[in-house]
Amino acid sequence: MNSLLKITDLHVSVDDKPILKGVNLEVRQGEIHALMGPNGSGKSTLAYALAGHPKYEIIGGTIEIDGTPLNDLDACARARMGMFLAFQYPVTIPGVRVADFLRHAVTNMRSPDRKEGEGLIPMREFRQELRAYMSELGMDTEFARRYLNDGFSGGEKKRMEIIQMAMLKPKFAILDETDSGLDSDAVRVVSEGVNKLSGPEMGVLIITHHERLLEFNRPQFTHVMLAGRIVETGDASLAHELHANGYASIRERHPVESQEHEELVTTV
Amino acid sequence: MSADAPVKSDPDIGEYQYGFHDSTDFYAFKSRKGLDEAIVRQISAMKKEPEWMTEFRLKSLELFFSRPMPAWGSNLNTIDFQDIYYYMKASDRQEKSWDDVPEEVRRTYDRLGIPEAEKKYLAGVKAQYESEVVYGSLKEDLAKQGVLFTDTDSAMRDHPDLFREHFATVIPPADNKFAALNSAVWSGGSFIYVPKGVHIEFPLQAYFRINSQNMGQFERTLIIVDEGASVHYVEGCTAPTYSSESLHSAVVEIIVKRGARCRYTTIQNWANNVYNLVTKRAMAYGDSLMEWVDGNLGSRITMKYPAIYLMEPGARGETLSIAFANHGQHQDAGAKMVHCAPNTSSRIISKSISKGGGRASYRGLVKIQKGAENCKSNVVCDALILDSHSRSDTYPYIEVEEDNVTIEHEASVSKIAEEQLFYLMSRGLTEEEASAMIVTGFIEPLVKELPMEYAVEMNRLIELQMEGSVG
């Protein structure tokens, strides 16, 4: 059965400031959705709120996977339900080696009922799998021994996010500007990587300003966000049109949200 | 038998898994509580010591009584010196086989994993239980090369000249109040002599265990590494959890001769009712290297600043200090480096973690004496504070009497960033696992300096400290 991520009338505040004002969205396993919109429209807020960042407070509406509400679950529980966020700015954890961290995370995901002190997944098996994905994403296997994101370039960090996604095999992956700040070669590698990983087992929500990622991962649905709401939904051609012509026509079609957006962005 | 009695544990601070204790019914001797001349004479008489040692003890006792309590560091006024047992022994002799050690005691060391570690990777072991060493071993090939690894009482008896030449030369009784106390009532500890040019590949380990309530343990360790020789000595310590206090006040003296190397690693994991007030000092001679690796996880209060006196050109000193202060604990730890000769160098790296209302203080001294030109010293202190009611302090003292020297000092204090926690949790780690991973990462640069077995042990202890940390 295909799993369903269902977001209903979602309202989210950060530091008591409302950012999302009633988002409705359904993503099924196997689907690719693009989420677009000008800076400050609430795309990253939606990503963090879905993943369960404690600063992003849900003040109304629901997030559900197959009918199970996620609102009150912490980030760990949501991850174990199949949620994954590829960060726009991956966090550095000094002293923690990529392989150690990932082996722990993978074990937790694959045996969520594991008791304290029970073994991690076998080293050999884990290492083989990690190496395969690293070479696919063009990462030197030496990175497995490095401290997590410590001293990584922008492109290396983004590739590491996709490697984590590959290892953790989520039901729903949110890619928050995974293609930003990368040169065109790196965008291609990441795009191909996502393409190989997406399939019937994974629903993908791609947040992006660029077209390359969507060329490799053609969305069935494109959503446009403005002032904390999804104001339009179309197919891949909508994404193409926005790339070509910008958001001017969207603003014209949605003057109220456009006005709200201007106020929000200028007060920041 | 109470060895398997359930251990009371505070869910807030994780479980201290060494808090069990044995009955004391089988003990060979137990002094009365309290400290006076009669007790000191009794200890000396029981040990059949030479006259000079009895005199040394009595003079030290006078010094102890006459010196004021330190007015700095932690509050020690809650120690009642008359409510402590100064000497106890579980058995009359030290054994060479675990099978001969009294069963109750042997079971304790089994639970601590010492005989197993001994088989796997140690060159020799000393196990001190209360006041006396109950078990000792040394690999035969080392004994043949002239290495001495014995308890300090036996060394005085069996190697009187070597012993007397060095004993109390590095830390005289008058050094401080607790050095005086140890000098008055000392018992047990390790004595090591490594002959010229002998390299001991695997660590020598001593394991100190307090078992009784209101116990005072005062071991005295003396290590002499002769020219061009090398040794790695490791000590571990645990005690049962009681509601009343115990006192551990050791003195450790080390002499590292020309071209020699000595590494002294401590994994201190006393129960939270133990006052741990220890004086440790090494004299490092020409082109030698002395290293302290000092891990303080347990105890109620620890005041300990391992010192290195760099006595001749080319001597190097290094201290790696890890302190973890949890609920109800104050770790006042650090290092002292005294540059007495030109062209000497020192490095202090300190990492402290405070949590659950605990307090971790770094207290360090770098001193460069007149004439000690071209010295280098580098001090790095990093503190990690895990919650808003825990505390970290840094007290760096620098005394320089020479111009042509290089001294660097860096200090940082950080908190676990919400973003780091969220990132790890979004990968399916629980908040507890994520915090533990961040803390383990914080001390990783130090832990990787340890031999593998001790690195594993250190990480395991840190994880235990982190258990139950999330409300």
- Residue A16 is part of a domain; what is its CATH number? 3.40.50.300
User: Would you state the structure tokens that stand for residue A221, as one six-digit string?
Assistant: 């649905």
Mean pLDDT of B307-333: 96
Residues of B in contact with A105 (CB under 8 A): 424, 427-429
Structure confidence at residue B9 (pLDDT): 39
Residues of A in contact with B415 (CB under 8 A): none
For B6, B98, B111, B335, the CA distances from A256, given in Å and listed in that order, are 68, 84, 72, 66
Residues B250-299: tens digit of each pLDDT: 999 999 999 999 999 999 999 999 999 999 999 999 999 999 999 999 99
Residues B145-187: tens digit of each pLDDT: 999 999 999 999 999 999 999 999 999 999 999 999 999 999 9
Q: Which residue is closest to A92 within chain B, CA to CA?
A: B420
DSSP state of B416: -
DSSP state of B312: S
Structure confidence at residue B7 (pLDDT): 42
Q: What is the DSSP string of B147-179?
A: -EEEEHHHHHHHSHHHHHHHTTTSS-GGG-HHH
User: Across the interface, do A93 and B438 touch by the CB < 8 Å criterion?
Assistant: yes
Structure confidence at residue B8 (pLDDT): 41
Residue B335 has φ and ψ, to the nearest 5°, of -165, 160
Specify the residue for token string 């190697």.
B159
- Nearest chain B CA: its distance from A243 CA (Å): 31
Residues A39-71: tens digit of each pLDDT: 999 999 999 999 999 999 999 999 999 999 999
Q: Which residue is closest to A74 within chain B, CA to CA?
A: B425
User: Across the interface, do B425 and A74 touch by the CB < 8 Å criterion?
Assistant: yes
Q: Kindly report the average pLDDT of chain B as a whole number.
A: 92
Residues of B in contact with A78 (CB under 8 A): 426
Residues of A in contact with B440 (CB under 8 A): 95-96
- Nearest chain A CA: its distance from B412 CA (Å): 14
Mean pLDDT of B135-143: 93
Q: What is the 3-state secondary structure (H, E, C) of A136-200?
A: HCCCCHHHHHCEECCCCCHHHHHHHHHHHHHHHCCCEEEEECCCCCCCHHHHHHHHHHHHHHCEC
Q: Is B428 on the interface with A (CB under 8 A)?
A: yes
Residues of B in contact with A109 (CB under 8 A): 428
ipTM here? 0.96
Mean pLDDT of B208-225: 95
Which residues of A touch chain B, with CB atoms under 8 Å apart? 51-55, 74-76, 78-80, 83-85, 87, 90-91, 93-96, 101-102, 104-105, 108-109, 112, 147, 164, 168
- Nearest chain B CA: its distance from A248 CA (Å): 35
Residues of A in contact with B420 (CB under 8 A): 91, 93
Q: In the beta sheet, which residues pair with residue A203?
A: A172
Q: Please list the alpha-helical segments (H only) found in chain A.
A: 43-51, 75-81, 98-110, 123-136, 154-168, 184-197, 212-216, 236-245, 248-253, 255-267
Q: How confident is the model at residue A117 (pLDDT cuts 50, 70, 90)?
A: low
User: Across the interface, do A168 and B442 touch by the CB < 8 Å criterion?
Assistant: no
The number of folded domains in chain A is: 1
Least confident stretch, A10-14, A246-250, B16-20, B225-229:
B16-20
User: Across the interface, do A96 and B428 touch by the CB < 8 Å criterion?
Assistant: no
User: Across the interface, do B441 and A96 touch by the CB < 8 Å criterion?
Assistant: yes
Does the pLDDT at position B470 exceed 70?
no
Residues of B in contact with A113 (CB under 8 A): none
Q: Which residue is closest to A79 within chain B, CA to CA?
A: B428
User: Across the interface, do B441 and A94 touch by the CB < 8 Å criterion?
Assistant: yes
Does the pLDDT at position B15 exceed 70?
no
Mean pLDDT of A102-129: 88
Residue in A54, A93, A105 nearest the CB of B428: A105
- Nearest chain B CA: its distance from A83 CA (Å): 8
The rounded distance, in Å, linking the Cα atoms of A176 and A162 is 11
Contact B151, B132 (CB under 8 A): yes
Least Cα distance to B220 among B193, B191, B189 occurs for B189
Residues of B in contact with A112 (CB under 8 A): 428
Does the pLDDT at position B14 exceed 60?
no
Q: To the nearest whole percent, how much of chain B has pLDDT over 90?
A: 76
Residues A134-150: tens digit of each pLDDT: 999 989 999 999 999 99
The rounded distance, in Å, linking the Cα atoms of A22 and A8 is 7
Contact B315, B344 (CB under 8 A): yes
Which SS3 state, helix, strand or coil, does residue A2 take?
coil
CA dihedral for A133, A137, A140, A144, sign (positive or negative) = negative
Contact A61, A9 (CB under 8 A): yes
The rounded distance, in Å, linking the Cα atoms of B323 and B330 is 10
Q: Which residue is closest to A170 within chain B, CA to CA?
A: B427
User: Across the interface, do B431 and A74 touch by the CB < 8 Å criterion?
Assistant: yes
Which amino acid belongs to residue A131?
Answer: R
CB contact set of A188 (below 8 Å; sequence gap of 6+): A212, A216
**Please, what is the Cα angle at B155 between B154 and B159, to 5 degrees?**
125
Residues of B in contact with A174 (CB under 8 A): none
Specify the residue for token string 């860096």.
B410
Mean pLDDT of B349-372: 95
Specify the residue for token string 């199970």.
A68
Structure confidence at residue A210 (pLDDT): 79
Structure confidence at residue B241 (pLDDT): 86
Mean pLDDT of B106-113: 88
DSSP state of B384: E
Q: In the beta sheet, which residues pair with residue B276?
A: B248, B302
Residues of A in contact with B443 (CB under 8 A): 95
Q: Is B448 on the interface with A (CB under 8 A)?
A: no
Which residue in A73, A76, A106 has the most chain B C-beta atoms within 10 A of its own C-beta, making it the best mutation to test that interface? Answer: A76
Contact B320, B347 (CB under 8 A): no
Q: Which residue is closest to B448 within chain A, CA to CA?
A: A95
Contact B371, B343 (CB under 8 A): no
User: Would you state the structure tokens that stand for residue B115, as one six-digit string?
Assistant: 């005989």
Residue B466 has φ and ψ, to the nearest 5°, of -85, -15
Least confident stretch, A52-56, A263-267, B382-386, B398-402:
A263-267
Report for A16-25, B111-120, B406-415, B456-465: range of highest mean pLDDT = A16-25
User: Would you state the structure tokens that stand for residue A56, as one six-digit string?
Assistant: 């992003």
Least Cα distance to B228 among B200, B203, B252 occurs for B200
Residue in B428, B429, B442 nearest the CB of A95: B442
User: Across the interface, do A87 and B423 touch by the CB < 8 Å criterion?
Assistant: yes
Q: Which domain holds residue A144?
A: 4-267
The rounded distance, in Å, linking the Cα atoms of A263 and B13 is 49
User: Across the interface, do A91 and B423 touch by the CB < 8 Å criterion?
Assistant: yes
Q: At what angle do helices B37-46 and B51-66 cross, to 10 degrees?
A: 150
Task: Give, for A61, the enclosing helix (H) or strand (E).
Answer: strand A56-65
**Please, what is the Cα angle at B81 between B28 and B22, to 5 degrees?**
35
Residues of B in contact with A83 (CB under 8 A): 426
Mean pLDDT of B454-463: 83
Mean pLDDT of B140-145: 94
Structure confidence at residue B466 (pLDDT): 80
User: Would you state the structure tokens that stand for residue A50, as one six-digit string?
Assistant: 């879905």
Contact B90, B129 (CB under 8 A): yes
Mean pLDDT of B39-49: 96
Mean pLDDT of A119-147: 93
- How many CB atoms sit inside 10 A of residue A220's CB? 12
Which residue in B416, B425, B470 has the most chain A C-beta atoms within 10 A of its own C-beta, making it the best mutation to test that interface? Answer: B425
User: Across the interface, do B420 and A74 touch by the CB < 8 Å criterion?
Assistant: no
Residue B367 has φ and ψ, to the nearest 5°, of -125, 130
The rounded distance, in Å, linking the Cα atoms of B178 and B61 is 10
Q: Is B441 on the interface with A (CB under 8 A)?
A: yes
User: Would you state the structure tokens that stand for residue B154, as one six-digit string?
Assistant: 């036996």
Least confident stretch, A17-26, B109-118, B370-379:
B109-118
Q: What is the 3-state secondary structure (H, E, C) of B180-238?
A: HHHHHHCCCCEEEEECCCCECCCCEEEEEECCCCCEEECCEEEEEECCCCEEEEEEEEE
Task: Give, for B90, the enclosing helix (H) or strand (E).
Answer: none
Does the pLDDT at position B3 exceed 60?
no
Which residue in B419, B424, B425, B426 has the most chain A C-beta atoms within 10 A of its own C-beta, making it the best mutation to test that interface? Answer: B426
User: Across the interface, do B442 and A109 touch by the CB < 8 Å criterion?
Assistant: no
User: Across the interface, do B418 and A55 touch by the CB < 8 Å criterion?
Assistant: yes
Q: Which residue is closest to A111 within chain B, CA to CA?
A: B428
Interstrand relation of A203-207 and B190-194 (parallel, antiparallel or unpaired): unpaired
